[in-house]
């Protein structure tokens, strides 16, 4: 499958330096619910640095003398960052934590709760990022771009973390599915197949962003000719108020949580999308996944293959909340904080800010 260019919605070029490190990148998990104060589970609020979530869990499980699967967590957090997240274990192990000490892990707080934390048990994450080498000429451009992001949101691409250091994990996933590669470790196998799903999703989303960019500049009929679509396919798409255009047959998702449904009344769905009530979803190829119809199906079929693996839908466009920015003149730093829904990458905000494209 030919790799598409991952497009971004703004024609900007902001110059800055960002290093993913514990000094310049902080991620804090936002729990899905308040902890009850009763029950058999102990919730730990953990701050870690320079280690993966799995390395942190391995360290704590070894100290307690329990299996890693007995520790619950809501999501995996970056290694090259200062991260705060919540994990759960049985309350009976609480006394063993009294003498726990590690130079990369600190227990910030403890709570009692009635159930184990499981994957996805979080509302989202708050990110705090320091941009460097931001000179005064760039300050206003960055702030203007942040205003656009606050009003419009960003594409929900999968980040480079999903594709490995070589950006080619997806090829192994494709080879596993075709039988060319055998991987016995189920977690590794699933991870590589997920990378292939993510790769196809990103290419599909890039094409939909390209479509919206063209509709900003040309008439619907002209874009239909450029993209070799039937005349009338893009009717009622150009004048929609949001950036990413809704097409007939798109599968929409209530935002930030909720059920799937097919877009039929484009004017109504575009209005609801603009108001952040719903968002367009993209297909994660696989079984049991709801497929797009009509004109939306043409884009889906071009970039997403059928595979024998559990599929689903993912928000293609997300909204960025609680954006705050501060310019540090004497250091030429720009400090930004914002909140994203679960499963989303801070790199999407940075890439729109930078105006960059990944090849």
**Catalytic position from the list 15, 24, 50, 78:** 78
- Residue 147 DSSP class: H
- Distance of alpha carbon 206 from alpha carbon 257, whole angstroms: 23
State both tokens at 68.
């890693």
Letter string b/e over residues 304-327, b meaning 16 or more CB atoms within 10 A of that residue's CB: beebebebbbbbbbbbbeeeebeb
State both tokens at 298.
């043409």
Active-site residue, 324 included: no
- Distance of alpha carbon 222 from alpha carbon 214, whole angstroms: 9
Those residues with Cβ within 8 angstroms of residue 42's Cβ, 6 or more apart along the chain or in another chain = 88, 89, 90, 91, 93, 94, 110, 111, 112, 113
Beta strands in the chain (DSSP E): 25-31, 41-49, 72-73, 82-90, 105-113, 122-131, 154-155, 251-254, 260-262, 278-284, 312-315, 317-318, 321-328, 333-341
Those residues with Cβ within 8 angstroms of residue 138's Cβ, 6 or more apart along the chain or in another chain = 14, 15, 16
* Active-site annotation, residues: 78
């Amino acid at each position: 499958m030919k790799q598409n260019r991952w497009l971004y919605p703004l024609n900007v070029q902001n110059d800055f330096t960002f290093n993913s490190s514990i000094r310049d990148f902080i991620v804090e998990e936002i729990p899905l619910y308040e902890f009850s104060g009763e029950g058999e589970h102990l919730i730990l609020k953990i701050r870690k640095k320079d280690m993966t979530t799995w390395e942190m869990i391995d360290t704590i499980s070894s100290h307690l003398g329990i299996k890693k699967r007995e520790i619950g967590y809501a999501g995996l957090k970056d290694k090259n960052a200062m991260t705060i997240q919540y994990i759960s274990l049985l309350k009976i192990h609480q006394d063993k934590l009294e003498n726990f000490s590690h130079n990369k892990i600190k227990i910030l707080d403890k709570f009692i709760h009635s159930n184990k934390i499981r994957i996805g048990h979080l509302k989202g994450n708050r990110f705090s990022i320091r941009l460097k080498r931001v000179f005064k000429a760039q300050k206003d451009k960055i702030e203007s771009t942040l205003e656009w992001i606050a009003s419009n949101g960003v594409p929900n691409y999968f980040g480079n973390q999903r594709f490995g250091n070589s950006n080619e994990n997806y090829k192994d996933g494709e080879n596993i599915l075709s039988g060319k590669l055998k991987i016995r470790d189920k977690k590794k196998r699933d991870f590589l197949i997920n990378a292939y799903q993510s790769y196809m999703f990103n290419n599909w989303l890039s094409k939909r962003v390209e479509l919206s960019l063209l509709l900003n500049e040309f008439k619907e009929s002209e874009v239909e000719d450029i993209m070799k679509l039937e005349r009338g396919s893009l009717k009622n798409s150009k004048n929609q108020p949001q950036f990413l255009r809704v097409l007939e047959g798109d599968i929409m998702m209530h935002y930030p949580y909720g059920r799937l449904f097919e877009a039929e009344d484009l004017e109504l769905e575009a209005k609801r999308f603009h108001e952040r009530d719903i968002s367009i979803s993209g297909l994660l190829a696989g079984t049991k996944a709801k497929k797009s119809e009509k004109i939306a199906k043409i884009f889906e079929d071009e970039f997403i293959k059928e595979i024998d693996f559990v599929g689903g839908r993912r928000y293609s466009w997300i909204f960025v909340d609680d954006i705050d920015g501060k310019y540090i003149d004497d250091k030429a730093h720009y400090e930004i904080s914002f909140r994203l829904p679960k499963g989303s990458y801070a790199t999407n905000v940075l890439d729109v800010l930078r105006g960059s494209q990944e090849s």
